[in-house]
Chain A
Amino acid sequence: MGAHAADLELARLCAEGDEHAWERFVREYRPLLYRAADALDRTQGARELADSLYADLYGLKSSAGDRQSLFRYYQGRSSLATWLRAVLAQRYVDRLRARRNVEPLSEQEPPAPGDAPDPDRARYVGLVTRALACAVAVLTARDRLRLGCYYVQELTLAETGRIMKESEATASRQLARTRLAIRREVERQLRHEARLSDDQIAACFASVADDPGPLDLKQVIYE
């Protein structure tokens, strides 16, 4: 907190409508916010979010006459720059998710008429999905978070490591360990719970690995 006292003071002055403080804020933080917006969306589509953020930071006068600025939520637990990036990231993700909700579902292509359906495929996918869910469920929250960051959010190893506060090498090593644990647990589930033979397990893996079909890793991880 003490380390960010200057940032807190600037935020307080800006929230109170101090013009000099606001000028200083714009001069120092506008480029930073634009850079963050451009990093989120290379097409500069997030710049409008940054501009709208300025309006909220500047504050609007309420009906009672007092100014309501977004700065009042800044508590100084981080630097002002990081907090601004967090607010921008929040708005960006929420906008993205809102857009996805209204996007029409793409029409699924019907299966090719020549393909002979594998009679066991539906069963295999179901078994693997459940075994996978069990394997992921027994992981620690930290392992699941790392898995989600890397495979679902498609972050790089370095970015994953930054979230997990670990080095890129450690993130890679931990991911490999988690993959191995999942593989073993899925095998164990299929062998002991679903009573599949080794050949059936191999066929199951081959069937699902080639085409996971309805198996949604995101769903497995988040549910």
Chain B
Amino acid sequence: MSDVPPRLLREALRGALAPDPAAPCLDAETLAAWADGTLSARERTAAESHAAACARCQALLAAMVRATPPPAQRRWWRSPAFGWLVPIAVAATAVVVWINLPQSGSERFAASQRAPAAAAAAAPTESARFATAPPAAADRLASKDEKREADQSSPAAASAPRRGPATAGERRDGEALPARQFDKLAPADPGAAAKELREAQTPAQAAPPPSRADAPRADASAQSAAAEAAPQPDAAVPPAAPQANAAAPPAPAFRPPARAMLEAAASVRGQALAKASAVPLQIVSPNPSVRWRTVAAGSVDRSVDGGTTWQTQSTGVQAVLTSGAAPSPAICWLAGSAGTIVRSIDGRTWQRVAFPEAVDLASIRASDAANATVTTADGRAFVTSDGGTTWRPARLPQ
């Protein structure tokens, strides 16, 4: 005892007496409320403080817990911890949807009006444009709305020239998205596109496009970025709509939740496809010396010496290409996400082949330059016998 300072003992004793020795033992009412979890925080703290130093109350608690049957085991997905998953999942979905929302009609309209000069300078054919445009510009070019406008202005949707490249600032949000997300939303049927737009348009959006000051925050920021990059100062007041825009009202900023959810899911699926594309796909022609391989979105390599050396070719699309078929050393079909199909009939240059739906394509088989069969990710098959000009549903082999 002598080697322990008296202060140590005093402090130890005082510490032991800290939980208010005058506090009464827990009565049955408090004990039951403790067990049922109906004590207030203060009451609970006081009860814990007392019970921590009271042998009888601890024994009471022990007897109480022994006398109470254990709660029924809840399924893991019903545990309170997972209750947080619901709002977290909703918030994550909302963020994904928000990221994927297109620009408002006014901004898109202004962007389309700033482009005509560049459009005139652009290559006259899509294949040529794709061949000359750098990937980033092509990325920005292939916006959903521009495609819609092009689709409606010309029946030959796939081959019609687009309005031309937009300036770098006009697609600020689009740059963050894979190009396939734009491509996949381009409907091949102009009537369906117009119907879709009509259905989605709200009364407020049927009114003239809002001024820059009235635009939503995200659009305003995008527009300000566009104004910085674009030389035209009249973007705030859109000029009169051209014929194509008169026929097709601007796409709404708001989309039905179900469709938005589907697009969010498609985005996630696209990311999975992008990951899958990290593994090179190699298509070997009947002559094993000639083969293609996908190396990155939008480009393929071709080898004529059995894979010893490779030459890069641009397909003109930015979509992820996931399957291919080479029925001859000069002919190769490639298919990928968002209904993207490209074909080469000379082994060197590529043309995009129109496909009626913006669905992910799982596989493609081809017997020559005209006949091919594609299978969509959702299990349907489509056949063409005219090089992709027309497609018809086919029955999948059982």
Report A's interface with B, CB cutoff 8 A: 35-37, 39-40, 73-75, 77-79, 82-83, 85-90, 92-94, 96-97, 126-127, 130, 133-134, 136-138, 141-142, 144-145, 148-149, 152-155, 158-159, 162-163, 165, 189, 193-195, 218, 221-223
Within 8 A of A (CB), among B198-242: none
Count class of interface residues, chain B: 35 or more
Contact across chains for A153 and B29 when beta carbons are under 8 A apart: no
Contact (Cβ within 8 A) A189 B8: yes
Name the one of B15, B38, B59 contacting A153, with C-beta atoms under 8 angstroms: B59
13 additional A-B pairs beyond A86-B28, A89-B64, A195-B3, beta carbons within 8 Å, are A37-B67, A77-B30, A78-B32, A85-B32, A89-B31, A89-B63, A93-B59, A97-B59, A141-B52, A154-B62, A155-B62, A193-B8, A221-B53
A78/B33 contact (C-beta < 8 A), A83-B28, A97-B56, A142-B52 known: yes
**In contact, A96 and B19 (Cβ under 8 angstroms):** no
B59 and A133 contacting across the interface, CB-CB below 8 Å: no
Provide the B41-81 mask, 1 if CB < 8 A to any CB of A, else 0.
00001001101111110111111111111110000000000
Given the complex, which residues of A lie within 8 Å of B18, measured CB to CB?
A: 137, 141
Quick one: given A86-B32, A153-B59, A189-B8, are A141 and B19 in contact (CB under 8 Å)?
A: yes
Assess whether A90 is in contact with B31, with CB atoms less than 8 Å apart: yes
Chain B residues in 8 Å Cβ range of A152:
55, 58
Pairwise interchain contact B68-A36, C-beta atoms closer than 8 A: yes
Closest Cβ of chain B to A29, distance in Å, is 13
Q: Given A142-B48, A144-B52, is A194 in contact with B60 using a C-beta cutoff of 8 Å?
A: no
Verify B31–A86 contact, CB threshold 8 A. yes
Q: In the complex, which residues of chain A have a beta carbon less than 8 angstroms from the beta carbon of B14?
A: 137
> Complex: how many Å from CA A97 to CA B31?
18
Note all chain A residues with C-beta closer than 8 A to B52: 141-142, 144-145, 148
Cβ B11 vs Cβ A89 within 8 A: no
Residues from chain B with Cβ under 8 Å of A149 in the complex: 58, 61-62
> Across the interface, which residues of B come within 8 angstroms of A87, CB to CB?
28
Which chain A positions have C-beta within 8 A of B55?
A: 148, 152, 218, 222
- Contact B37 A165, beta carbon cutoff 8 Å: yes
Proximity string of chain B (1-42) to chain A, C-beta cutoff 8 Å, 1 when within and 0 when not? 101110011011111101100000001111111111110000
Residue from the set A93, A159, A195 with the largest chain B CB neighbour count within 10 Å: A93
- Taken together as a complex, chains A and B put the C-alpha atoms of A189 and B9 apart, in Å, by 12
Which 8 pairs between the two chains have the least Cβ-Cβ distance? A137-B15, A78-B32, A153-B62, A89-B63, A144-B52, A141-B52, A78-B36, A36-B67
Residue of B nearest to A127 (CB): B4
A141 and B49 within 8 A (CB): yes
Complex-state Cα separation, A195 to B3, whole angstroms:
9
Q: How far is the CA of A85 from the CA of B27 in the complex (A)?
A: 12
Q: A130 and B36: CB pair below 8 A?
A: no
A35 proximity list for chain B (CB < 8 A):
69
Do A145 and B29 form a contact, CB below 8 Å, given A78-B36, A134-B15, A195-B3? no
Q: Footprint of A on B, CB under 8 Å?
A: 1, 3-5, 8-9, 11-16, 18-19, 27-38, 45, 48-49, 51-56, 58-71
- Which residues of the other chain, B, contact A195 by a CB distance below 8 angstroms? 3
Can you spell out 21 A-B residue pairs with CB atoms less than 8 angstroms apart? A73-B28, A77-B30, A78-B36, A82-B36, A83-B32, A85-B35, A86-B32, A90-B60, A90-B63, A94-B56, A97-B59, A130-B4, A141-B45, A142-B52, A145-B58, A154-B62, A155-B66, A158-B70, A162-B71, A195-B3, A223-B16
Other-chain residue from B12, B35, B38, B66 in contact with A130 (beta carbon distance below 8 A)? B12
| CB-nearest residue of chain B to A70 | B28
Which residue of chain B is the closest to A83 with respect to CB atoms?
Answer: B32
Contact A85 B56 (CB under 8 A): no
Give the shortest distance, in Å, between A122 (CB) and chain B (any CB). 11
Residue of chain B at shortest CB distance from A159 = B65
Shortest CB–CB separation between residue A203 and chain B, in angstroms?
Answer: 16
Beta-carbon contact of B65 and A155 below 8 Å? yes
State the CA gap A207–B18 with chains docked (Å).
31
For the complex, give the distance between the alpha carbons of A39 and B5 in Å.
Answer: 47
- Using Cβ atoms and an 8 Å threshold, which residues of chain A touch B48? 141-142, 145
CA distance A126 to B9 in the complex (A): 12
Residues in A neighbouring B61, C-beta threshold 8 A:
149, 153, 163
B62's partner among A78, A97, A137, A159 (CB-CB below 8 A) is A159
Q: Which of B37, B51, B62, B70 has the most CB of A within 10 A?
A: B62
Question: How far, in whole Å, are A91 and B160 apart by their CA atoms in the complex?
Answer: 90
Q: A82-B35, A86-B32 known; A93 and B16 CB under 8 Å?
A: no
- The interface residues of chain B lying within 8 Å CB-to-CB of A221 are 53
The answer to whether B9 touches A130 (Cβ under 8 A) is yes
Residue from A74, A86, A159, A222 with most neighbouring chain B CB atoms (10 Å): A86
A133 pairs with B16, CB closer than 8 A: yes
A212 to chain B, nearest CB (A): 18
Once the chains bind, are A78 and B15 in contact (CB under 8 Å)? no
Q: With A82-B36, A93-B60, A149-B61 in contact, is A222–B31 under 8 Å at CB?
A: no
Residue in contact with B11 in the complex, picked from A79, A94, A137, CB distance below 8 Å: A137
> Chain B residue with minimal CB distance to A220?
B16
Residue of B27, B56, B71 touching A93 (CB-CB under 8 A)? B56
Return the contact of B12 from the options A86, A127, A134, A148 (Cβ within 8 A): A134
Give Cα A90 to B26, complex, Å: 9
Query: Once bound together, how far apart are the Cα atoms of A68 and B5, in whole Å?
Result: 56
Task: Name A147's closest neighbour in chain B (CB-CB).
Answer: B52
- Chain A residue with minimal CB distance to B63? A89
